[in-house]
Structure 1
């Protein structure tokens, strides 16, 4: 019941970030393919409404957001580390920038008409329309750059990254890969999925060589499962991750609360608060199919409210 189960889909950039981290760590994992768009009834059974991809399952513990998943994977396999002491926290700051500013510039740029045609090649028109409608709901109320603004941002961002590699270092922060490398790599990977617009990468040869080094880590020892088996595992296992509510943070053990992302895909997840500290939120939920599950979120980027 302690195996790693990654709920993901092939074209998800944040899923690729985690797949590459699992490869870097040399870990075995089971993959469950989730729907690209709603409805997602099996995801709902496990997460209670969290709709971003990916999420990681260990028994009946569900870990949401790639930032938290990276922490969990690091605890499972500390070496090679995503957070080496010599980078002194710079990897987290760079990763957060990459997960937000760089990612949205890359996504907005790549999904311009020529890029979208390549990404969705072979998909029926009705799927493309459904995907657009689904993502419009996810990002409603969020400020996202136009493709022209995104291109301008990317030209600067890619130049900055290229300059970081100018001294011959193999990875962004030095001799070893860190979380920052994988957070940046997901956006480069996504741009490369769309050859008609990927020419923006061509002037940045050091960055391209760096990406090949990251891609060479592969995806680890990947198995295949399905959502019904994952739900049964959750029901049979029960939560195992230690949790407690730290005093002085404005909440008490057992409070009825909701958690939602603060930037996009703000669908709330409701439950009983069983864990809270400065870095993590944990809710207890009972689902008729999955049984008792604990759903975990990073504290950064998520709003916590009593209900």
Structure 2
């Protein structure tokens, strides 16, 4: 297997989710730091348009969205599992809720004016404006919670998670699963990136104890890699054939009337609506795969989870 290459930046919440999962599975990685805002020319050379953080690169195969990255890492190293057999459905549904509803409440709270001022305290004023403009452009039609509403929702969700943390070392038992890592990253941002707002956690001490246990897992070994070198590795590699890569399902499932081999676009449903265009080479029960060619990265296969993404036939030029 080629090296696992994680494209991320240190303060990215979803990157923290994957970093801790890599630590949990004791998987080494190459680490490429990318800009937190556009432009991201080296990342887009690999993805073709997708710009959310992180992405996972394995040779000339590019995996987008942490839900899919979790499945890939589970296939690479099945033990310890992210999906305990007796909890497989429950922990996946909880993780989907945590990555969406909980995350947006947490970040609406975390990046209220006091939190944003802390994050950008040492940066020039134009940096805060650039970040705000970038995230506004990514939001599209997404309805973002106002700080007061986000605070109310976050408090409520923290109490519910605390009820789970009161019972076990981790949310669903004595060992962590994907639910823990999905719930952790927004709370990690509160604790690590905006500690001036961390007093919201004082009412739920079991969450702090649980978060300490998750943090103690660590990130595992990482070796720095430049984005230029990551692109060169992609250009030198051959992407895996559909059904022969780290995604274990391969049967074609046609819900759109779009045959394999068609030019298509794939776009996130909500946040970060930049489309990726390419040739549809897989549409399975769980994921889509596109083949595309970049002048620098060469032929790459870009993979997306099926849930949360919109597949359309590409419009003729």
Quick check: TM above 0.5?
Answer: yes
Deviations along 1:118-154, whole A, 9 cap, x unmatched?
1222111111111110000000211010000000001
Residue pair 2:165, 2:207 contacting (<8 A) in 1 also: yes
The worse-fitting range, judged by mean Cα deviation, of 266-275 and 111-120 is 111-120
Counterpart Cα distance in 2 of 1:88 and 1:68:
15
1:282 aligns with 2:282: no
User: In the TM superposition, what whole-angstrom CA distance separates every residue of 1:218-237 from its partner, at most 9, and x where no partner exists?
Assistant: 00111110110000000001
**Relative to structure 2, which stretch is displaced further, 174-183 or 117-126?**
117-126
SS at match of 1:196: helix
Residue equivalent to 2:116: 116
1:16 corresponding residue in structure 2: 16
Q: Which residue of 2 aligns with 1:67?
A: 67
Please list, as runs of the form range in 1=range in 2, the aligned pairs for 1:106-255 lying within 5 A after superposition: 106-167=106-167, 169-192=168-191, 193-240=193-240, 242-243=242-243, 246-249=252-255, 250-255=257-262
Shift of 1:245: 6.1
Deviation at 1:179, TM superposition (A): 0.3
What secondary structure is seen at the aligned counterpart in 1 of 2:280? strand
Question: Alpha-carbon deviations, 1:181-211, whole Å to 9, x = none?
Answer: 0000001101112122110011111111000
Superposition RMSD in Å: 1.1
Report the alpha carbon displacement of residue 278 of structure 1 after superposing the two structures with TM. Answer: 1.7
Decide whether the 8 Å contact of 2:242 with 2:281 is kept in 1. Answer: no
How many angstroms does 1:242 deviate by? 3.1
Instruction: Kindly provide the CA deviation profile for residues 50-89 of structure 1, in whole angstroms up to 9, marking residues without a partner as x.
Output: 0100000000000000100011011001100000112131
Structure 1: which 5+ runs fail to align?
Answer: none
Distance in 2 (alpha carbons) for counterparts of 1:121 and 1:3: 37
Moved over 6 A (4+): none
**Separation in structure 2 between the aligned mates of residue 278 and residue 94 of structure 1, nearest angstrom:** 20
Q: From the superposition, tell whether residues 121 and 134 of structure 1 become closer, same or farther in structure 2 (CA, over 3 Å).
A: same
Where in structure 2 are there 5+ consecutive unaligned residues? 244-249
What residue in structure 2 maps to residue 97 of structure 1? 97
TM-score between both structures, scaled by the size of structure 2: 0.94
Residue in 2 that maps onto 1:77: 77
TM-score normalised according to structure 1 size: 0.97
- C-alpha deviations, 1:62-117, integer Å up to 9, x for none? 00001000110110011000001121311100000000001000111111111111
**Aligned equivalents of 1:143, 1:45: Cα separation in 2:** 30
Q: How many Å separate the matches in 2 of 1:187 and 1:242?
A: 34
Q: Does 1:268 align with 2:267?
A: no
Report the CA distance shift for 1:181/1:119 in structure 2 as closer, same or farther (over 3 A): same
Task: Count the aligned residue pairs.
Answer: 306
| CA spacing shift, 1:247–1:277, aligned 2, 3 Å | closer
Q: Residues of 1 paired with 2:241 and 2:19: CA distance?
A: 22
Separation in 2, partners of 1:101, 1:88: 20
Per-residue deviation, 1:28 = 0.4
Shift of residue 247, structure 1, vs aligned partner: 4.8
